Structure 1
Amino acid sequence: MSDISSKNDLRGRMRALRKALAIAAPSAAERAAALLPLERLPAFAVFSGYHALGSELDPSPLIRRLAATGAMLALPVALSPDAPLAFRAWDSRDALAPDAVGVPAPPPSAPGLHPDLVITPLLAFDRAGGRLGQGGGHFDRTLEALRATKPVFVLGLAYAGQEVEQVPAEPHDQRLDAILTETGYRELKTT
């Protein structure tokens, strides 16, 4: 089985599992945010969150905790389906508007930012930093572009039950530096 077909098979299984985990653990987002050891993160002046879709673990409690450090919050914005994501400043008092792929995002009038810390949703992760996303490649293209300009720390946010033995990897896949779940924080062995 090719990496692409095994990824697609895994995506189907993990979407169903994540939905079940979301129902079974309604307070997982709050627990995860409380377990983040801020002192273990590299210095960051700008961080990015995301707008949770479907059963993705809600980053709102984590965003509030990171914003309390004084860092600026950015949200990703798809400018086109095949381009890296841009990041724009966002304040919770400001309205969001659908981006090029329909995800709520800050409007074009919001200032562009370049995050030092990126919180990313996922379908599955492994101990080597592998991350399985939705399949559009948005975060892989984005992380590759960001990492080409400066160091960026990538923190996956997921339910503990989303861990798998090994995420099928392709050369373009970008790895996580750490994972945060409702059971704790773990730095990953990226190679």
Structure 2
Amino acid sequence: MNPVSHQKTLLRRTMRDQRRALAAADSQAAARAATHAPLARLGAGPVAGYIAQGAELDPGPLMAALAEAGVALALPAAVSRDAPLIFRPWTPGAALAPDAFGIPAPLADQPQVSPTALIVPLVAFDRRGGRLGQGAGVYDRAIAALGAEHRPFLLGYAYAGQEVEDLPLEPHDQRLDAILTEAGLIEVR
């Protein structure tokens, strides 16, 4: 394992514990974060969110606000553990089925879409747009697969307490354009 990957692994362990503590301490964080959302910057969509797993900040309130504003929504779907995520249309309440990672995703009969914005979960972030994910690289690969000319606006979605001073990053790591927390919006670019 290279030194940066090792640093990321150690930080990931610490920050997962931090995220669990933040989630346990503040059940209203997701609702407050949604009130700070840059709806105009996210556009008409499709905007891809995610189904929160474990202690991830739940984008449900943000996705509901987007749907109410008439924004087209999507969710990621893993078709295999090694392939980039794809995105399929989704509306609140629509049926979901487990994807290749066992995470609820739109049904396989839904067409693939290219989102204009991604709301992405994370383990840690820094103010330079660095994002530490779960470690599988699925979002980095998905963003790279969309290509430079179709790169979506990347909105990290996290608890303010997940911020770190400086994340160790590798060349394949995709930087965020902004981070939305319960404390407000952090602009990066």
- The runs of 5 or more residues in structure 2 that have no matched partner are none
Instruction: Give the letter aligned to residue 112 of structure 1.
Output: Q
Distance in 1 between the 2:18 and 2:93 partners?
A: 33
What's the counterpart of residue 37 of structure 2?
Answer: 36
What's the counterpart of residue 94 of structure 1?
Answer: 94
What's the counterpart of residue 114 of structure 2?
Answer: 114
> How far apart are residue 93 of structure 1 and its match?
2.9
Distance in 1 between the 2:36 and 2:148 partners?
A: 30
> How far apart are residue 146 of structure 1 and its match?
1.8
8 Å contact kept, 2:51–2:103:
yes
> How far apart are residue 149 of structure 1 and its match?
4.1
Task: String of CA shifts for 1:91-133, please: whole Å, max 9, x gaps.
Answer: 2232211101111101111122110010000000001000000
**Does residue 1:46 correspond to 2:46, yes or no?**
yes
Distance in 2 between the 1:147 and 1:70 partners?
A: 26
What's the counterpart of residue 15 of structure 2?
Answer: 14
- The runs of 5 or more residues in structure 1 that have no matched partner are none
Count of residues in Structure 1 that have an aligned counterpart in Structure 2: 188
Task: String of CA shifts for 1:18-76, please: whole Å, max 9, x gaps.
Answer: 0000011110000000112324x153421000010000000000001112221211000
Distance in 2 between the 1:58 and 1:8 partners?
A: 23
Q: Normalized against structure 1, the TM-score is what?
A: 0.94
Q: 1:181 to 1:88 in 2, by over 3 A?
A: same
8 Å contact kept, 2:131–2:176:
yes
8 Å contact kept, 2:67–2:91:
no
**Does residue 1:77 correspond to 2:77, yes or no?**
yes
What's the counterpart of residue 136 of structure 2?
Answer: 136
What's the counterpart of residue 154 of structure 2?
Answer: 154
**Does residue 1:169 correspond to 2:173, yes or no?**
no
SS at match of 1:20: helix
Q: Normalized against structure 2, the TM-score is what?
A: 0.95
SS at match of 1:109: coil
SS at match of 1:185: strand
**Identity rate, percent:** 54
Tell me the C-alpha RMSD between the 2 structures.
1.3
> How far apart are residue 184 of structure 1 and its match?
0.1
Distance in 1 between the 2:64 and 2:163 partners?
A: 25
What's the counterpart of residue 25 of structure 1?
Answer: 26
Distance in 1 between the 2:131 and 2:139 partners?
A: 10
What's the counterpart of residue 187 of structure 1?
Answer: 187
8 Å contact kept, 2:46–2:89:
no
Distance in 2 between the 1:185 and 1:35 partners?
A: 6
Instruction: Give the letter aligned to residue 128 of structure 1.
Output: R
